[in-house]
């Protein structure tokens, strides 16, 4: 799951919650309360939550110096649940200032791979109709619109319900190819010269 890049993708732990909640509040207009994460982490055996963190600061010098000059605790997170062999991605977020490098894609890939490992036949998720960035990401992974959920969000905005096709051999091959391309892209970023 991890690479030779200065990042770690790992299961979310209760100690991550302060940083997770902070990012949640930064990117979502209706962030989850801590109780939802606690419920998911402690009491839902079919829930999987991952965090992406920047570590190995000695190797990560270029990355963190370039972006923020300080090491953030957490770059992003993704969460999912499995019910009746169907996967559902419940949350996905990348820390502001770190968008556009491939981290959201890495988190989504991790979720899809986990759901395949768990035996999910397909995956659903909801996305705001105005959220073109996330919709682009999902269409790259062959999510298709199933329906429009009227007033789904607290502020009244509609959601699109999206679903993948079957997570079959062909889909798994797509994930492998996408992962290889993404790792190449991240390594290329790391080689970029940084002018401080």
Residue 136, interface with ligand COA (CB under 6 A)? yes
Of 82 and 94, which has the nearer Cβ to ligand COA? 94
Residue in 41, 92, 111, 115 binding ligand COA, rule: CB under 6 A: 92
Residue of this chain nearest to ligand COA (CB atom):
104
- Would you say 131 and 97 are in contact if contact means Cβ atoms under 8 Å apart? no
Angle at 60 between CA 56 and CA 64, to 5 degrees: 120
Q: Which of the ranges 36-44, 61-69, 98-106, 116-124 carries the binding residues for ligand COA, by CB under 6 A? A: 98-106
Binding of residue 93 to ligand COA (CB under 6 A)? yes
Least distance from ligand COA to the Cβ atom of residue 134, Å = 4
What burial class does residue 97 get, using C-beta atoms within 10 Å of its C-beta: 0-12 exposed, 13-18 middle, 19+ buried?
exposed
Binding site for ligand COA (CB under 6 A): 27, 92-94, 99-105, 127, 131-134, 136-137, 140
């Amino acid at each position: 799951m991890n690479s030779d890049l200065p990042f770690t993708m790992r299961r979310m732990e209760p100690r991550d919650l302060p940083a997770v909640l902070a990012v949640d509040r930064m990117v979502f207009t209706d962030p989850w309360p801590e109780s939802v994460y606690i419920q998911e982490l402690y009491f839902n055996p079919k829930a999987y939550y991952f965090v992406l963190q920047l570590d190995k600061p000695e190797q990560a010098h270029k990355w963190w110096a370039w972006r923020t000059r300080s090491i953030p605790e957490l770059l992003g997170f993704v969460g999912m649940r499995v019910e009746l062999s169907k996967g559902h991605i419940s949350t996905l977020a990348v820390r502001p200032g770190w968008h556009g490098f491939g981290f959201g894609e890495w988190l989504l890939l991790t979720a899809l791979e986990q759901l395949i490992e768990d035996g999910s036949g397909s995956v659903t998720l909801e996305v705001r109709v105005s959220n073109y960035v996330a919709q682009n990401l999902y269409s790259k992974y062959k999510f298709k619109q199933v329906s429009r959920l009227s007033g789904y969000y607290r502020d009244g905005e509609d959601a699109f319900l999206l679903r993948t096709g079957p997570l079959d051999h062909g889909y798994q091959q797509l994930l492998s190819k996408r992962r290889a391309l993404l790792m190449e892209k991240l390594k290329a970023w790391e080689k970029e010269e940084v002018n401080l």
